[in-house]
Amino acid sequence: MLQRRDFLAGAAAAGATLAGAEPAAAAISYRKPADWDKLVAAAKQEGTVVLYGPSGDSFYAALVTRFQKAFPEIKVESTMGVGAQLVTRLQAERTAGRYLADVYVNGSTVALLGLKPAGGMKALEPLLVLPEILNRSAWQQNMLWWNDGHAPNTNLSFAAILYPVAYFNTNLAKASSFRSYWDIADLKWKGKVCSNDIRVIGAGGVPASYIFKQPSLGAPWFKRFFGELDVVMGRDQRQLIDGLSQGRYAVAGFVSAEEAATAIDLGLPIAPVPIDQLKEGCAVGPGAGAISVLDRPPHPNAAKLYTNWLLSREGQIAWQEETKYASLRTDVPKTNLVLAPRPGKAYVNAGAEQYGSLLSGIGSMVTDILAKSGKA
């Protein structure tokens, strides 16, 4: 998998959103809670925390190596993969009565739709004990970024990524051509557009749900994009990006940012549509940066310690340094980050359940649009 370090140079050259040296809010000195040492001792006694997390060396470094450096007495047993695959595995394990995992770190939507309804995740709020986590002013927009649509709160975002809605071939289009989402669906691109199949939860979910919720976009935008542009649909992200970079397409919608980053890093002529310049606004999603603790964790103290460490300033510095994705904490310096939100700007949280729950309906709508246009 592409490393975030490799992405930096290519993304900067291609005009991807990068945060510069934004100064962090002053770090406050917090006292540990009275029973913190007891928690640490109990976690060390358990000796293990089982993590189901995102695949890739940078994620492993952030979520496994850096925690074990902080707490060498506690081994992290990790199973890393795509969020949907991990949730499917967790569902199968739990159905068989095997409660193996302690902590899930990955995308929010698949966890909230696949695990929470069956009681698969613990209420997370009671497990947060560090004052530096509970202090809302330490987080962007002065809030904890809960993703749950209803109580209990079980899934919390700690990262923020501005996912581009589309990429363009720099030999066939210019960034200045895109000032509105409607410019991406302009009829001048007819026959020159490809798209990821957003009927499958994955790449493109954040911008798709945001577009659907916007009154000035919504279903009419999807009808234009999928119904009138002769869009070539696919699920193989590399093939879609290859077609864009080779000039078979001028625009690629809803494709994997990671796969696009690989192409950019290789110097291929593609760039993201600068989402912050689109007049209708945009949303952030957590990417793989949302956390839950599983119900019936085999190592409850280690799970609690791990969660508090990851959400602490120390844990979020580790996350940023290794992945180059922005933390939602305001006291972590925002330097040389990939697809980072602009400092001081308010964003919608499209990792929230109210957005993720739209995706199945959006998928059905796209199927109907394609059928009516003879493309099903």
**CA–CA distances in Å: residue 142 to residues 31, 134, 172, 214, 346:** 20, 11, 42, 24, 11
Give the other-Cβ count within 10 Å of 55's Cβ. Answer: 17
- 233 with 368, same domain: the answer is yes
Considering the domain architecture, whether residues 22 and 147 belong to the same structural domain is answered as: yes
The domain tally of the chain equals 2
User: Which CATH number fits the domain that encloses residue 325?
Assistant: 3.40.190.10
Q: Is the domain of 117 the same as that of 198?
A: no
Instruction: Give the amino acid at 204.
Output: G
| DSSP secondary structure letter of residue 288 | T
| Under-70 pLDDT residues of the chain | 1-27, 376
pLDDT attached to residue 13: 35
pLDDT at 24: 63
Q: Is the Cβ–Cβ distance between 220 and 371 less than 8 Å?
A: no
201 belongs to a structural domain: yes
Position 72 in a domain = yes
Percentages of the chain per state (helix, strand, coil), in multiples of 5: 45, 15, 40
Give the residue from 214, 256, 219 showing the smallest Cα distance to 238.
256
Residues 292 and 366 in one domain: no
Q: Tell whether 193 and 290 lie within a shared domain.
A: no
pLDDT in tens, 179-220: 999 999 999 999 999 999 988 877 888 899 999 999 999 999
- Are 270 and 178 part of one and the same domain? yes
For residue 10, being part of any structural domain is answered with no
Residue 216 lies in a domain: yes
* pLDDT value for 29: 73
Same domain, 172 and 153: no
What lies within 8 Å, CB to CB, of 126 at 6+ separation is none
Whether residues 217 and 129 fall in one domain: no
Residue 2 inside a domain? The answer is no
Looking at the structure, tell me whether residues 26 and 140 fall in a common domain: yes
- Whether residue 3 lies inside any domain: the answer is no
In a domain, 7, yes or no: no
Query: Within a domain: residue 94?
Result: yes
Closest CA to 233 of 215, 246, 252: 252
What are the pLDDT digits (tens) for 49-58?
999 999 889 9
- Give the DSSP per-residue string, 334-359: B-SEESPPPTT---EETTSHHHHTTH
Helix (H, G, I), strand (E, B) or coil at 313: helix
Q: Are strands 251-253 and 193-196 parallel, antiparallel or unpaired?
A: parallel
pLDDT of residue 200: 82
Buried b (16+ CB within 10 A) or exposed e, 255-291: bbbbbbbbbbbeebbbbbbbbeebebebbbbbbbbbb
pLDDT for 8-57, tens place per residue?
433 433 334 434 445 566 667 788 999 999 999 999 999 999 999 998 89
pLDDT reported for residue 256: 86
CA–CA–CA angle 315, 105, 165 (5° rounding)? 100
As a whole number of angstroms, the distance between CA 275 and CA 173 comes to: 15
What is the spatial distance between Cα 115 and Cα 331, in angstroms, rounded to a whole number?
A: 32
Which range marks the domain in which residue 360 is found? 166-281+356-372
Shared domain for 265 and 178, answered yes or no, is yes
Q: Please tell me whether residues 319 and 300 are part of one structural domain.
A: yes
Same domain, 220 and 364: yes
Query: Rounded to 5 degrees, what angle do the CA atoms 245, 269, 199 make?
Result: 45
Report d(CA 209, CA 104) in Å as an integer.
Answer: 23
DSSP secondary structure of 20-47: --BPPPPPPP-PPPTTHHHHHHHHHHH-
Sheet holding 156-157, edge to edge: 75-80, 48-53, 103-106, 290-293, 156-157, 145-146
Neighbours of 152 (CB within 10 A): 13
Q: What is the pLDDT of residue 2?
A: 39
